[in-house]
Amino acid sequence: MLTPCDTYANCRLVEAFFEREVDLGTKGRPSQTDLLALVQLADGYGVIAVEGKAREPFGPLVSEWNDGHGKQERLDDLCRQLGLDTTGVGGLSYQLLHRTVSALLEARRYGAREALMLVHSFDAEDTSLDAYQAFAAALGLGNAVANAITGPTVRDEVTLRLGWVKGC
């Protein structure tokens, strides 16, 4: 059971896209979100970017991924959009950065005031929960626990939340 979040309570699905590719605006491949949903909230729109995980990690850490000039430019841009210092993200999972930025970009594209990056874990052991929690803490969202949506933080006029839900 997911802890309620008043903002997303009773939201209505407007449209959803499987394997949605989002151009991040820098060199490199687009971010491919497992499911991207546009939802009607009580007072506007929200975007939910769902990342499904089944006993696999979020991919390489930023320190392992960042091995070239083009990648540093992308990292600089991702960190700018997330309000993070590039010198402190080496231990974070790169996938969480670009997936969350894709949620923010799509929220702006749709004129939505809310963005939620939601991890749907199909792993009874929640193998990657610690990586998610480290990312949430870096964003200043220290209340990241399983089956809950974090409190908000604002990035360029879009309210951002993270969530982790368990389900098989």
pLDDT 10s digits, 71-126: 999 999 999 999 999 999 999 999 999 999 999 999 999 999 999 999 999 988 88
Q: Return d(Cα 138, Cα 27) in angstroms, integer.
A: 25
Cβ atoms 103, 81 nearer than 8 A: no
Residue 155, in any domain of the structure: yes
Residue 1, in any domain of the structure: no
- Provide the number of structural domains found in the chain: 1
Residue 112, in any domain of the structure: yes
* Residue 69 predicted with pLDDT over 90: no
pLDDT at 134: 96
Residue 3, in any domain of the structure: no
For CA atoms 45, 30, 87, 149, the dihedral sign is: positive
Q: What is the pLDDT of residues 50-59, one digit of tens each?
A: 999 988 888 8
∠ CA(128), CA(132), CA(138), 5° rounding? 145
Residue 4, in any domain of the structure: no
Residue 121, in any domain of the structure: yes
Q: Return d(Cα 129, Cα 107) in angstroms, integer.
A: 25
160 backbone dihedrals φ, ψ, rounded to 5° = -110, 135
Q: Mean pLDDT across the stretch 152-159?
A: 94
Residue 7, in any domain of the structure: no
Lookup result for tokens 């949430």: 136
* Residue 70 predicted with pLDDT over 70: yes
pLDDT at 126: 85
Q: Return d(Cα 6, Cα 46) in angstroms, integer.
A: 13
Q: What domain range is 47 assigned to? A: 12-166
* Residue 162 predicted with pLDDT over 80: yes
Q: What is the pLDDT of residues 3-41, one digit of tens each?
A: 568 899 899 999 999 999 998 888 889 899 999 999 999
